[in-house]
Amino acid sequence: MGSQLSNSSVVSHMVASPLSHVKNGLIVSCQVPDDTAINTPEFIAAQALTVIQAGAVAIRAQGIENVKAIARVVDVPIIGLVKRFDDECPVYITPSVSDVIELEKAGASIVAFDATGRLRPNNQTLKDFITQVRLETNVLLLADVDSVESAIAAQDLGCDAVATTLSGYTDTPVSKLPNIELIREISKNVTVPIIAEGGFNQPESVADAFKAGAMSVCIGTAITNPYLLTKHFLSAVN
């Protein structure tokens, strides 16, 4: 990437509070498929730099090395997470306290994690996970939820914000994505900020999310996944 990712290229947006900075803004989830040539920290960082230059207010990214690379080139809130898949544990978004510690060291000011209430590795409860994270880190906690109930529980446990990331990824029934109705119902039942995420691919649905009570909207594949976008348009060929 050369000089594009040098320290002089850092996009600076000084912020007093990561969550206040993302209010009424667009967050971009920088992600690419694991088995593609562009799945490198350098590419992810360049992707993050580009969307911030375009007007995004924060970045969501998974993986310690990716977060480190992004933190070197932008000065906006980074929502970090780690994905760890285990056949014996359904929780795969930042399942362990050690993941949160490493994400904070890498440069994440906000850490996203599965807050559906399912047991974590070693049968750790969500309550114990949050308690330990609070003792060992200073990050803000973004609870990825799948329902109104899990959003309320996350707020009661002291999470700083909730995101609808896991709508459609658990056993909780979902009629369609983006789940605007879930955003609306969560907004009626919690006072913490809501980040709408999941299935957003049209500006109209982003506007609907804000009207339903979202503080900000996070978009991933529709912006950052050229592999799937190419496959989508190829479906019209032949």
Assigned token pair, 24? 């009424």
| Residues in contact with 231: Cβ distance below 8 Å, sequence separation at least 6, in sequence order | none
For 202-228, the pLDDT digits (tens) are: 999 999 999 999 999 999 999 998 888
Residue 1 tokens read as 């990437």
- Mind listing the pLDDT tens digit for each residue in 3-57? 445 444 555 444 458 999 999 999 999 988 888 999 999 999 999 999 999 999 9
> What pLDDT score does 187 carry?
98
Give the domain ranges of the chain: 2-234
Residue 1 reports pLDDT greater than 80: no
Looking at the chain, the whole-number percentage of residues with pLDDT higher than 90 is 83
Q: Which residues contact 170 (CB under 8 A, 6 or more apart)?
A: 90, 116, 118, 146
What is the pLDDT, as a whole number, of residue 158? Answer: 97
Q: What is the DSSP string of 154-198?
A: HHHTT-SEEE-TTTTSSSS--SSSS-HHHHHHHHHH--S-EEEES
Q: What does pTM read for this prediction?
A: 0.91
CA atoms within 13 A on the CB side of 84: 17
pLDDT in the model for residue 5: 55
Judged by average pLDDT, the poorest of 3-7, 79-83, 173-177, 218-222 is: 3-7
Residue 100 pLDDT level (bands cut at 50, 70, 90):
very high
The mean pLDDT of the chain is: 92
**Burial of 180: CB neighbours in 10 Å, binned 0-12, 13-18, 19+:** buried
Q: CATH for 2-234, among 2.60.40.10, 1.20.1080.10, 3.40.1440.60, 3.20.20.70?
A: 3.20.20.70
Cβ contacts of residue 121 below 8 Å, gap of 6+?
86, 89, 91, 95, 96
